[in-house]
Amino acid sequence: MNLTEHLPILVVIIPLMTAPLCVLLDHPRLAWFAALASSWVSFAAAISLVMQVSAQGPISYWLGGWEPPWGIEYRIDVLASYVLLIVTAMAALVLIFAKESVQKEIPEQRIAYFYAAFMLAFAGLAGIVATGDAFNVFVFLEISSLATYALISMGKDRRALNASFTYLVMGTIGATFILIGIGSLYMMTGTLNMLDLAERLPEVADTRTVRAGFAFLTVGIGLKLALFPLHLWLPNAYAYAPSMVSAFLAATATKVAIYLLLRAILVIFGIDFSLGLMPLDNLLLVLGLIGMLSASLVAVYQRDIKRLFAYSSVAQIGYMVLGVGLANATGITSTILHLFNHALMKGALFIALGAVAYRIGSTTLKDFSGLGRQMPFTMAGIVAGGLSLIGIPPSVGFISKWYLVLATLEQNLWPVALLVLFGSFLAVIYVWKLVEAAYFGEPDDTRTIREAPLSMLAPLWILVIANFYFGIHTDLTVGLATQATSALTGGGG
């Protein structure tokens, strides 16, 4: 068997097949090891995919050997390989962190199943990214969503159950909307393959059915994306989920949704239709801005740090959507950049919070009092992640904001640029709250807290270093992002 030829499918099925394996093993440590090993293999596959795609252009893989549009096609272009890289890298890092954290948070006899569910969530996300078939998106979306609902409900607090249920209802409505959207497109074109759709849609673009289908698809993705005002499920889901689940979801799930949005509006419908014919650009612009500002404001008032950063995620989604709404190449580049960069910072922050939860069992602001001295490495990681979130050079956060502001100025929308900066200012406030408590608050002397174990610090600091490494050496990320943008907007998927 020729490995390189089958890379597109291997990235997805290796984690997918690990899930039943975990169930068969039914042993906590073995299951963890299987999950870890397969996610690293998948990560390696993603790396070689990135290299293969940027050298030879998009790869098309025919599942079952049937040529598209009759069979299902996996299509890896620059953007897809880039997002696959994010997803697999985060899974691989989070799983290192998971070992100790899961042992503490999940009942012993359920750990193996927990990892199985995690692998399904991971593989589902990877499947959404890799596929070139509209209906296949729906199937893998449901694999990952169902697994995610179960994972979130494993949080220790009973509010996790309610959060999970809310997410289930919202998520299913979103998925059903997507299904209606796909149905309308299929009705007008007779095909489900994305590229084939892109080819056949212009003929019928002027029909009301296609326009409504577009609306349903966008709203459905918006629900999954937690786009303001459809974000209400997200903060609680992230806040009450087990630590490793929050870390993984915050770093990947919304990124995949953004990717889907980009795919839908740029590849399937084409930029002229989505941003020209439909008033989507202005809508995204406004929603992105409101989401960014309102969620940042709410974040400032949060007392639970996990929830604080969850709201901050909603705000960051605002930035990414804003980039799309600007409807120029720089804006889209900034969004794609931020996919990667935001994964780095939120991954680091949530892993650090997980480490705190591991040591003191809670993440309320009160409990952070004096932690700067008790868990110096963890707290330093949080501060570094926070700086990146604010956008201080030379962090990656600065790079994405730089491109975003550049894009607004290109469109002569300087008020928007000011608002983006104001959003950063709000981020300063909420990060400062934490720093103040951790470094200037009085430690509670009645408790002795040790630094987090190495298996948690290692992935945390890998991410922190990446935050600054990719802030200084921007060639790789900016290069890929511009390449992806020109492929998307130039029409040559």
Residue closer to another protein by CB (options 188, 249) is 188
Is residue 153 a contact residue for another protein (CB under 8 A)? yes
C-alpha to C-alpha distance for 113 and 205, rounded to whole angstroms: 46
Residues of span 54-83 touching another protein by CB under 8 A: 61-66, 69-72
> Whole-number minimum distance, CB 303 to another protein, in Å?
4
Q: How many CA atoms lie within 13 A of 260 on its CB side?
A: 34
Q: How far is the CB of 404 from another protein (least distance, A)?
A: 26
Binding mask 311-340 for another protein (x = CB under 8 A): x-----------------------------
Q: How far is the CB of 20 from another protein (least distance, A)?
A: 4
Exposed e or buried b for every residue in 238-263, given b needs 16+ CB within 10 A? bbbbbbbbbbbbbbbbbbbbbbbbbb
202 binds another protein (CB under 8 A): no
Is position 138 an interface residue for another protein (rule: CB under 8 A)?
yes
Beta carbon of residue 26, minimum distance to another protein (angstroms, whole number): 8
143 binds another protein (CB under 8 A): yes
23 binds another protein (CB under 8 A): yes
- Residue 278 interacts with another protein (CB under 8 A): yes or no: no
Q: Which of 29, 158, 447, 473 contacts another protein by CB under 8 A?
A: 158
User: Is position 243 an interface residue for another protein (rule: CB under 8 A)?
Assistant: no
- If one asks whether residue 114 binds another protein (CB under 8 A), the answer comes out as yes
Complex with another protein: residue 176 or 411, whichever CB lies closer: 176
Contact 239, 304 (CB under 8 A): yes
For 292, phi then psi, to 5°, come to -60, -50
Which two tokens mark 108? Answer: 């012993």
CB of 153 to another protein, least distance (A): 6
Cβ atoms of 132 and 68 closer than 8 Å = yes
Please identify, among the stretches 75-83, 152-160, 435-443, 471-479, the one whose residues bind another protein according to the rule CB under 8 A.
Answer: 152-160
Q: How many residues bind to another protein according to rule CB under 8 A?
A: 97
Q: Is the CB of residue 335 less than 8 Å from the CB of residue 258? A: yes
Three-state SS string over 451-463 comes to: CCCHHHHHHHHHH
Alpha-carbon distance of 411 to 215, in angstroms, equals 25
Nearer CB in complex with another protein: 234/251: 234
Q: Any contact of residue 40 with another protein (CB under 8 A)?
A: no
Contacts 24+ apart (CB under 8 A), 73-76: 73/131, 73/132, 73/133, 73/193, 73/195, 74/8, 74/9, 74/12, 74/130, 74/131, 74/132, 75/130, 75/131, 75/132, 75/194, 75/195, 75/493, 76/8, 76/49, 76/130
CB of 173 to another protein, least distance (A): 6
